[in-house]
Amino acid sequence: MSQFQEIFQRASDRKGGPSILLSMVGEEPFAIPKLPNDRYLAEMTKRIFQAGFSWKVIEQKWDGFEAAFDGFDINTCRFMSPDIFEALCQDTRIVRNGQKIETVPQNAEMIFSKSETMGSFFNFLKTWPEDDYVGLLLDLKKSGARLGGMTCQYFLRSIGYDSFIFGRDGVAALISVGVIDKHPTSKKALQTVQATLNAWREETGYSLTTLSRVCAMSIDA
């Protein structure tokens, strides 16, 4: 039995059989939707503010975020003045975390820069090699602001990008079949995971998102 077959069997047993499991996780191919640049910045910002904070509160305040950041217009956000920054730090429509507010102009500049090179941020994502998801995470972490850890993974999932979430259960599944021995943080460990995911995708024909969900469902909470 292959590593993924072992995980799939365990998840299937937990959820009541293969057909039920697949109906829960989905097995359709992913095609990233084309969005305007302001929506990419908005989703990045939402995931950044949700990190270490109540997701529910951010959702409740999100209309206020949209208004405060002018709909996340890329050029408006790129050129945020010190006065506007200070005003945002006092703006009760949003969560007043200065370090996270600072990421908005920084990530707006990153999106603008990649758009200048690739024609749009959508093109940047669309043309990234599908067998190098880890490389995309590392690129966005390096070129963006506060896009490390699971924040970037949640961002990519939220915009419809085919993605693997390195959450507690997903990582536990990888550990259970010997892919890694702890949460992958080093470049070497992440490359090992990438090679494994590429092999599993070739073996099963499933998307990264489906593989991720099956892994998560194979672990007892």
Whether residues 132 and 188 fall in one domain: no
With 0-12 / 13-18 / 19 or more C-beta atoms within 10 angstroms meaning exposed / middle / buried, residue 129 is exposed
Domain end call among 158, 193, 209: 158
Helix and strand element counts for the chain (H, E): 14, 0
CA pair distance 163, 157, nearest whole angstrom? 6
Do 106 and 146 belong to one domain?
yes
CATH code, domain with 63? 1.10.340.30
Domain-ending residue, one of 158, 176, 204: 158
Does the pLDDT value for residue 30 go beyond 80?
no
Which of 120, 139, 158 finishes a domain? Answer: 158
* Interatomic CA distance for residues 178 and 183, integer angstroms: 12
Q: Give the residue numbers spanning the domain of 137.
A: 37-158
Q: What is the mean predicted confidence (pLDDT) over 127-141? A: 97
> What pLDDT score was predicted for residue 32?
84
Alpha helical stretches, state H, 51-186: 55-68, 74-78, 82-88, 98-101, 103-118, 121-126, 133-143, 151-158, 168-176
- Are 75 and 121 contained in the same domain? yes
Please give the share of the chain, as a percent, with pLDDT higher than 90. Answer: 94
Based on the structure, what is the number of domains in the chain?
2
pLDDT in tens, 159-196: 999 999 999 999 999 999 999 999 999 999 999 999 99
